């Protein structure tokens, strides 16, 4: 049996290097890592498996802001000014009201913008850029009103016929506009992003799990488990061991999933 690894571009490679001894001496994830490394060294350097860029990409925060600005036609300096005021560029920031990430998106807002992980810097910045672009369009390019709505909500802007008389909102608009005019230096931070979607990763795992029970290393593992069980039973070291062992084997797929998710 071959373990197939499907990369973001749809290319499939195969790992055939897991040895029986690897599973007996270490957990499956370690064995898989070793096999992947062996397979990679044995294949052409241009293969999808050896090309790590096929599985992930590295971007700087500045690159993300530039991409967001171009995608949603928003001045990049406005986005960085907002990020400075919102979170000081902290991807893990959470406000007392529950706003999340660099652009401080509220849960409902993030969901409406299609942001699945508000603490992912790329998703968060793209979501914030999309939101402010919508507000700028709504207020005919009036940056102050768009910022006020970003902070306090469009309902309050409509209610008060302009920037709401909230100290927080008024200070927010003033500070962002000041940063916007001065220009903000973006921290020299890089973000590593997987190019696999959750659906692709889940499909790859299901393929691996469906093939793994037929692999020689897994059969060797079962044989060793059976030997241990026979020995323990003969020595009367376990009570009701057979039923527990059968249950363990019936849940092996879930055990492998849990193991891989910890890596």
Round to whole Å and give the CA distance between 121 and 204. Answer: 25
56: left (phi over 0), alpha (psi -120 to 50) or beta: beta
3-state class (DSSP) for residue 15:
strand
Task: List the Cα angle 145/107/79 in 5-degree steps.
Answer: 40
- Cβ atoms of 166 and 174 within 8 Å: the answer is no
Sign, CA torsion 150/154/160/161: positive
> What whole-number distance in Å separates Cα of residue 18 and Cα of residue 3?
10
Q: How many CA atoms lie within 13 A of 189 on its CB side?
A: 14
Residue 146 corresponds to which tokens in the numbers above?
């768009």
Residue for token pair 């306090």: 152
The two three-digit tokens of residue 9, written as one number: 């571009």
In this structure, what DSSP letter does residue 213 have? G
DSSP state, residue 214: G
Tokens of 41: 């060294």
Question: CB within 8 A of 105, min separation 6: which ones?
Answer: 99, 113, 115, 118, 124, 127, 128, 131
Among all residues, which ones are annotated catalytic? 86
Tokens 């005919």 found at: 140
Q: How far apart are CA 105 and CA 80, in angstroms?
A: 15
């Amino acid at each position: 049996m071959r373990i197939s690894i499907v990369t973001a571009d749809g290319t499939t490679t195969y790992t055939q290097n897991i040895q029986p001894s690897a599973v007996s001496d270490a957990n499956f994830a370690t064995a898989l890592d070793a096999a992947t490394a062996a397979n990679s060294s044995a294949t052409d350097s241009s293969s999808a498996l050896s090309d790590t860029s096929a599985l992930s990409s590295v971007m700087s925060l500045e690159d993300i802001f530039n991409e967001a600005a171009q995608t949603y036609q928003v001045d990049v300096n406005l986005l960085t000014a907002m990020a400075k005021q919102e979170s000081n560029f902290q991807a893990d920031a959470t406000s007392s009201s529950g706003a999340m990430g660099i652009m401080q998106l509220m849960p409902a807002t993030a969901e409406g913008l299609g942001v699945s992980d508000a603490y992912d810097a790329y998703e968060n910045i793209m979501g914030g850029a999309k939101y402010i672009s919508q507000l700028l369009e709504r207020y005919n390019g009036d940056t102050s009103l768009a910022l006020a709505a970003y902070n306090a909500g469009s309902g309050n802007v409509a209610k008060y016929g302009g920037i709401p008389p909230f100290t927080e909102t008024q200070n927010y608009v003033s500070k962002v506009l000041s940063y916007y005019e001065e220009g903000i230096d973006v921290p020299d931070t890089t973000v590593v992003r997987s190019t696999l979607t959750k659906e692709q990763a889940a499909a790859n795992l299901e393929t691996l799990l469906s093939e793994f029970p037929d692999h020689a290393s897994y059969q060797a593992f079962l044989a060793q488990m059976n030997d241990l069980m026979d020995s323990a039973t003969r020595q009367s070291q376990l009570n009701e061991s057979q039923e527990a062992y059968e249950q363990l084997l019936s849940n092996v797929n879930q055990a492998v999933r849990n193991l891989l998710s910890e890596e």
